[in-house]
Structure 1
């Protein structure tokens, strides 16, 4: 059988599984997820053996230590993945929730209820934990999932999907509801992007190049997630001690994630007092500052910033920095260079905070708080599939409700329209 035939077979099976999964109540879905969690722990040796193939191949190809660390699985990480699945099982089921309802003047009872999206395709880079996280979130929300991870984690992903399917085989959830897209070539990913007959929505998880590629090439509806050029703006009326705490946390607490700060903007009125302290603290934390000419005046350690630096999502201990003359200049800078993920203002002025929140067009606005809080868990949603930076369907952290659509149900007693 050719790769194209394999792809169609898998997609058709996912479509059939989605129809079987959609009407299931919460209990069988939760039971299936707990079976998956137990199966993953029981198969720890099998997973580690498969993962070792991927790690060895990555080491031979000269992959960076940081990327290999993201790829690597051990007993502790497998237990953490299983624990995350159990946590998803404990979350409320969004399917069937009544979003709104009313009785119309003609007596019809009208309800808008949450329903699964159907078949969700996930295209993602080399983190095997995403394979399980995405599958668990999709199953809990009543969706079948087609997983297309990177070739660098193919052996790991194959083992993880095989183990999840074994666990589902003894449950009420069809094992075909979780499937790995066949093939490791670019063509299999491109096929998934164009499989409108089978796939209801596509979610890319990874860096800017992956997301842009999927958005530009896909004919399947796409929810963009992840790219985060997040800003911290220190206003003229900021508490500078607070601003310093927020900046250091936003940049250094975990620099490799999408809600880490990538750009610092400082109002000219407080720059002489704030920047010497901020630059020293960033240096002590190992951060390289890429600054404009006005920032460089405060330290010889600042690297000259290019235009590209202000667009950059570094995901490292680097940050761009600029001095601005007004709140409106800060807003204009963010609107030009930002990625509409998360942007923060530090200020004691209610008026400035309100104007910033109203005019900065991002999925999340932080007022006197770190950008690092834009996260499903931190918001109290539980697990998330990603953080959407677009406006249609979902925006911000995407938890279980965001993996559903809605349908309208109206019930009458023989009403006809005149």
Structure 2
């Protein structure tokens, strides 16, 4: 075993930062055996020492994380502050410029500035690792960069936000509406006071942008991604989904075909027969299609102190062992710039719920609009109501181009016998 200790500086001592320090303290002997050298925290930085449930007296304390990144004695800077700009970005840049390896769980930072930071890391000859940024304790980045290196990956899809999965699961199990379950999730600590990043799909989109770059060897293109959250999903839609043999999940989906990448985040109807439909609560799951392995699926806790800290320490362990890989599987200068397919060009099946006034001829008018836009119905469910009252009509379609579907719904929405805006959820069959 080497006598040289790998020294770690941790910026940010919140849930994940504290978990990382405790994991390194509690498993020091096992980590040293696996790395062939001791791995020890030497410096930490946070806004305050108040509320910490672990001892930091043996570490150099910095109020300023950027100053710590510049001047501490650590070999590795672990950034767990969060946010794509400000202190987090400056801390990582300072650490890389100082020739320190960087480990981060900051998906927003990598999604927005990953290419520039990777270029800096390469110039300085150090690692920029971020396993914990995507799907928490699930080792999906390592799987793509290492275990699946011999594969041509064609598609990745997954449940990448535990807050949304918890909300959709609870809505189904308890028959409650979105707003009620969101409040419950906030009370339990599963959702932030401002849950927008989670429920509007942005958190999932950050993770998907990273996976796209690593899997396909392309430049990160977050700005052209289609992003839709779960605010509009109702308990009624969830009930109809079950009746039709589906379960609603917020999915991130990325694929590459014929030199074009498709990246999309949105609620989707997932067939009950698929393993992805059975991933419930706060759990995450990632499904990867490769030409040699066919399909693999990884399931685990996508957030929280211990799973995320576990992923952080896995990256630290690689550095301790001397394992250094390109940030996005290949050198940043070799990443391809490829176009992103417009969502209007997406081809798929759809679930549509309409509230129609129950009068003769109304549905015939709807069917005519679908026909005129080359949308073919696969199934239909209609509930009985009093004559003249709005009635829910649910239909699913065969494959069609999204532009056709949207054009049809725009026309239908303008009918005076349509009581509320049509609700559309995409069906993800594979």
TM-score by length of 2: 0.31
| Structure ranking higher in helix proportion | 1
| Structure ranking higher in strand proportion | 2
**Greater relative contact order, per chain length (Cα 8 Å cut-off, separation 6+):** 1
